[in-house]
Amino acid sequence: MATRVLGRARRGLAQAQTRTRLTGQLIVWCRKDAHSTLLTKNEQSNLYKIQFHNVKPECLDDYNKLCEEVLPSIHADKYYPCELVGTWNTWYGEQDQAVHLWRYRGGYPALTEVMNKLKQNKEFTAYRKERGKMLLSRRNQLLLEFSFWNEPTPREGPNIYELRSYQLRPGTMIEWGNYWARAIGIRQNNSEAVAGFFSQIGNLYMVHHLWAYKDLQSRDITRNAAWQQEGWDEVVYYTVPLIQHMDSRIMIPTKASPLQ
């Protein structure tokens, strides 16, 4: 079935390119509201930051230990209006990489408040200085959550996590959201759906879907089972043409992660 649908998806891409081009230019459907207004629950409620840290291979254990000493204390301190949603090391995908996901309740004002307060935190300043010696590179994005996904909450383990990231064609975010709003129920049978986000700052038109599985075999079984659900093939068929690039990370939670 997957082969047949992928074939349909390729034809769909060709058709989409044909019908959306006029005099060599890509037509983007007109809209009157921002993505953040149309796709999220409340732009002022939750803002997320995802961090990708590429660690020197010989420093990964020390890096994890350092994070375990500092990040939970910020998470637990009500003085900071932020929460550590999850922290992981990549298992498959980019190697020697740490991924951190933070939530700021109150949106951009909460983010600004946390940044200003952390500047006065000597322990955090020392942590950043020591952390910098262990990193090869780092980047981050500010994200909003899709209204039709669950808000990520702590989970007991052990689990593995998959972060699937999609770089969409500019102007297609609303269309993506429309298809996934109808499809997310198909992927809830094993409570594997953790969270779904779209970028606001950083790489734009970027979508992140976060999934949880017991192990790689469970992941394979769950994903194959989706093809037996009515409507899943149509989701793939209509969303593949919207994607410019995609990748997948399999991640293992660290000891400090609320998502285990």
Give per-residue pLDDT as tens, 35-71: 555 677 665 579 999 999 999 999 999 999 999 999 9
pLDDT in the model for residue 235: 92
pLDDT in the model for residue 158: 95
Q: Which amino acid is at 60?
A: L
User: Lowest mean pLDDT: which of 118-127, 166-175, 194-203, 230-239?
Assistant: 230-239
pLDDT in the model for residue 58: 98
Q: What is the DSSP letter of 32?
A: S
pLDDT in the model for residue 23: 29
Is a pLDDT exceeding 50 seen at residue 16? Answer: no
Residues 148-161: tens digit of each pLDDT: 888 999 999 899 99
Model confidence at 182, pLDDT cuts 50, 70, 90, reads confident
Model confidence at 186, pLDDT cuts 50, 70, 90, reads confident
Q: Which amino acid is at 146?
A: F
pLDDT in the model for residue 231: 86
Query: Which contiguous run of DSSP H or E holds residue 165?
Result: strand 160-168
Is a pLDDT exceeding 50 seen at residue 163? Answer: yes
Q: What domains does the chain contain, in order, with CATH numbers?
A: 2-253 (3.30.70.100)
3-state secondary structure of 146: strand
% of the chain surpassing 90 pLDDT: 72
Hey, what are 57's tokens? 């291979």
Hey, what are 142's tokens? 């500010």
Q: Which amino acid is at 128?
A: R
pLDDT in the model for residue 38: 65
- Rounded-to-integer distance, Cα 225 and Cα 196, Å: 20
> 19: how many CB neighbours lie within 10 A of its CB?
9
pLDDT in the model for residue 36: 54
pLDDT in the model for residue 150: 85
Geometric angle at alpha carbon 207, from 206 and 213, rounded to 5°: 145
Q: How many CA atoms lie within 13 A of 135 on its CB side?
A: 17
Model confidence at 5, pLDDT cuts 50, 70, 90, reads very low
pTM of the model: 0.85
Model confidence at 1, pLDDT cuts 50, 70, 90, reads very low
Cβ–Cβ under 8 Å, residues 218 and 212: no
Hey, what are 252's tokens? 């293992």
The arithmetic mean of pLDDT across residues 172-178, rounded, is 94
Is a pLDDT exceeding 90 seen at residue 8? Answer: no
User: Lowest mean pLDDT: which of 33-42, 101-110, 221-230?
Assistant: 33-42
% of the chain surpassing 70 pLDDT: 84
Hey, what are 210's tokens? 């976060």
Residues 21-37: tens digit of each pLDDT: 332 334 444 455 555 55
